[in-house]
Structure 1
Amino acid sequence: MSNPVSDLILGFQGLVADVPDLVQPLILALAGAVPFIEGEGAAAIGIIGGIPPIVAAIAGAVGNIICVAVVVLATSRVRTAVTTRRGAIEKPPTARREKFEKAYHRYGTPGVSLLGPLLLPTQFTAAALTSTGVPPMRVLAWQAAAIVLWTTVITLIITGVVRAVA
């Protein structure tokens, strides 16, 4: 059986190889917007495909940040609409929400944002933070920092591996 994420990665690798050099960063930005691939995965796809590491990292991170910004803004609007309509009535929290809120109270927005990509795509973490009432600009700032950090780390690792193997 094929893995959907592996299929997506292979699809993006093939697409990057088949388009002109000027279009390749756009393909990586699209890959960066996909949950589970994200900025770091897009950078790895590009580097393995022969794109300069800095170009691959920037394209992947930008695509990931744009997608996260859309998710945060949409989640913020939904939260505002729901809380305005519901007023003061609160539903009991689900077990998943309680787990997230416990992590949030322990690590705060910076910790959840920076450590979140180890467990969940940034889009999911950003939506969860925004839905709990964290201000959207705070979520965006910390998610952007996390995306840049993780994309940089993976870019450095992949670049080192590619140079060692070549």
Structure 2
Amino acid sequence: MVDNPYEGIREWVQQLPELVQPLGVGVAGMVPYIEGEGAAGIGIILGINPVVAALAAMIGNFLSVLAVVTISSRVRQRVVAGRGNDGATTYPASGAPSERRAKGQRRLQGWLSRFGVPGASLLAPLALPTQLTAAFFAASGVRTERVLFWQAIAILLWTGVIAALATGFVGFLGW
């Protein structure tokens, strides 16, 4: 049987107080590209109870999305109020988004147009972190409550799927 390459760090995590373990997973869930899915998987591989790891990761991911949406919505309100128009976005030559970011924004805008906020929220984690997706929706003028609701659903779904897969993976390997 294959030895667990994570045994040393797993033992260290298990020595931490039980309250600290999910807090670490929650903080990891706040990091773009790690998010709830990655944080839950890491926590489970490191020996944290799968339900506790998944819940902590979901909460951390959602709290970061909540902060991003709140800030993005307020910024949009101020920009729109300052322009006195519908808030259409234009980029000056020096403020143009990077090519990669612009490509991601075009893809997300296409999903938003084609599938609406629900579908785009559920598909977006395949391409972008939830924090960027949520900021894009809020900056596009989607109601804050609607963004938060559908991002929460996406976080629950994706984190739940990855947590279940990680639990099965750890069980399969006998870790």
- Give, in angstroms, the shift of residue 45 of structure 1: 1.0
- 1:161 and 2:169 equivalent? yes
Matches within 5 A, 1:1-166: 16=13, 19-88=16-85, 90-92=88-90, 96=103, 97-166=105-174
Flag structure 2 segments of 5+ consecutive residues without an equivalent: 1-8, 97-101
Flag structure 1 segments of 5+ consecutive residues without an equivalent: 1-11
Alignment correspondent of 2:6: none
For residues 42-98 of structure 1, the C-alpha deviation after alignment (integer angstroms, 9 at most, x for no partner) is 111110110110000000000000000000000000000000001117444775555
Q: Which has the larger radius of gyration?
A: 2
Alignment correspondent of 1:5: none
Q: CA RMSD in A?
A: 2.1
Indicate how the Cα distance of structure 1 residues 99 and 159 shifts in structure 2: closer, same or farther if over 3 A, else same. closer
For residues 104-149 of structure 1, the C-alpha deviation after alignment (integer angstroms, 9 at most, x for no partner) is 1101100110000011000000000111000000000000000000
Determine what percentage of the aligned residue pairs are the same residue.
Answer: 49
1:15/1:27 contact within 8 Å kept:
no
2:65/2:130 contact within 8 Å kept:
yes
For the residues of structure 1 that align with 2:59 and 2:65, how far apart are their CA atoms? 10
For residues 10-69 of structure 1, the C-alpha deviation after alignment (integer angstroms, 9 at most, x for no partner) is xx9798456322211011100000000001111111101101100000000000000000
The TM-score normalised by the length of structure 1 is 0.85
Structure 1 residue identity aligned to 2:32: P
For the residues of structure 1 that align with 2:50 and 2:148, how far apart are their CA atoms? 24
For the residues of structure 1 that align with 2:48 and 2:135, how far apart are their CA atoms? 31
The TM-score normalised by the length of structure 2 is 0.81
For the residues of structure 2 that align with 1:104 and 1:15, how far apart are their CA atoms? 43
Secondary structure of the structure 2 residue equivalent to 1:141: helix
Indicate how the Cα distance of structure 1 residues 90 and 117 shifts in structure 2: closer, same or farther if over 3 A, else same. closer
Indicate how the Cα distance of structure 1 residues 119 and 98 shifts in structure 2: closer, same or farther if over 3 A, else same. closer
